[in-house]
Amino acid sequence: MTRRPDLVRGATIVGTGMYVPDRVLTNADLERMVDTSDEWIRERTGIRERHIAAPGQASSDLALIAARRALAMAGLGPEDVDQIVVATTTPDRVLPSCACTVQAKLGAKNAAAFDVLAACTGFIYALGIARGAISTGIAETVLVVGVEALSRIVDYTDRNTCVLFGDGAGAAVVRPCAAGEGILAVTLHSDGVLGDLLEVPAGGSLQPTSRETVEQRSHFIKMRGRELFKVAVRGMEESLRAALDIAGLAPADLDLIIPHQANQRIIDATRERLGVPAEKVILNIDRFGNTSSASIPISLDEVVRAGRLGPGDNVGFVAFGGGATWGATVSRWTMPAPLTDGVAQAVTAARGAGS
């Protein structure tokens, strides 16, 4: 479908879904693997447990379940999707993209599919792409997925990182809406100079996988956590404030903030700088750990299914991650609450798809 370029329309989330693998890795399990303690992990991060993909369960498998749930909520089928954007740091393979694999498994034969690598900010980048595609008429229905099987690149002999990360997937279906509703503002930032604060040194074109890289464990995540911590708090505050400015809102106008779940202390510090009460900020890091690009859509799906968002509510997403990348979105929620599968489809139809 082609659209007149002067006809700007909005984009809004009409369905959400999430999935985490069955296997749970607790702090007690980690105490038996590395020199750590449940007390240290809880006090320094807020994490109690995380989910780990089964052998043979790839990122696309996690994404597929989340995507099907999001489409069911939206009352749409795979063939309605015309773009799939998968944010991931852990695609099934280097080539093809995880998004193309999800497309094949889903049977979304009408979709263009590609991956976005923006680490923990990936879902926000992907949502920004979806909004742009819909506003310009490139797409009508975009499936945005954040998925990670981080357990595949975590070194379970490194206590600095192995206690932090978990696996999971979250998805959102984005459709047109009236201008001034839905996703009101998106702010995206990067600073590649900070690239080595969080990296997987080997397995790419710089250091292709070799016997040496495997022996040196260079195909696993390396992180300079303390340095990341400081820039994360500043970046999250600034990007959410910038998105609020674009939307013409103040922090107090937000009904809910869904932050990336990297560390409870990062979330608390960001919240305090913004002057927002704790009850408006979603925290589930205790159950999932840091699932990178999946953490925001997982949290969003929990919030939506719990009926915590209703039409007209202002919700902010904010994240910081490797790259370094950071960013935020501010949306005016359009879906009714509590939500059942198919309700969003009725809402979309009633709006005349915003066109």
Residues that bind ligand UT7 (CB under 6 A): 36, 40-41, 44-45, 120, 159-160, 163, 198, 225-226, 228-229, 232, 262-263, 266, 290, 320-321
Q: To 10 degrees, the CA torsion angle through 238, 242, 245, 251?
A: -40
* Residue in this structure with the two tokens 């002067």, named with its chain if needed: 6
Give min distance, CB of 266 to ligand UT7, in A.
Answer: 6
Give min distance, CB of 183 to ligand UT7, in A.
Answer: 22
Give min distance, CB of 316 to ligand UT7, in A.
Answer: 17
Q: Which residue number, 3 or 234, has a Cβ lying nearer to ligand UT7? A: 234
Contacts of 115 (CB under 8 A, 6+ apart): 85, 86, 87, 88, 91, 97, 98, 99
Give min distance, CB of 41 to ligand UT7, in A.
Answer: 6
Q: Which residue number, 39 or 253, has a Cβ lying nearer to ligand UT7? A: 39
Catalytic residues: 120, 260, 290
CA–CA dist 302, 172 (Å, integer): 12
Q: Which residue number, 31 or 255, has a Cβ lying nearer to ligand UT7? A: 31
Give min distance, CB of 292 to ligand UT7, in A.
Answer: 6
Q: Which residue number, 36 or 178, has a Cβ lying nearer to ligand UT7? A: 36
Contacts of 221-228 spanning 24+ positions with Cβ under 8 A: 221/150, 221/153, 221/154, 221/155, 221/161, 221/165, 222/161, 222/198, 223/160, 223/161, 223/197, 223/198, 224/196, 224/197, 224/198, 225/160, 225/161, 227/197, 228/197, 228/198, 228/320, 228/324
Q: Do the strands 142-149 and 83-87 form a parallel or antiparallel pair, or are they unpaired? A: parallel
Q: Which residue number, 8 or 33, has a Cβ lying nearer to ligand UT7? A: 33
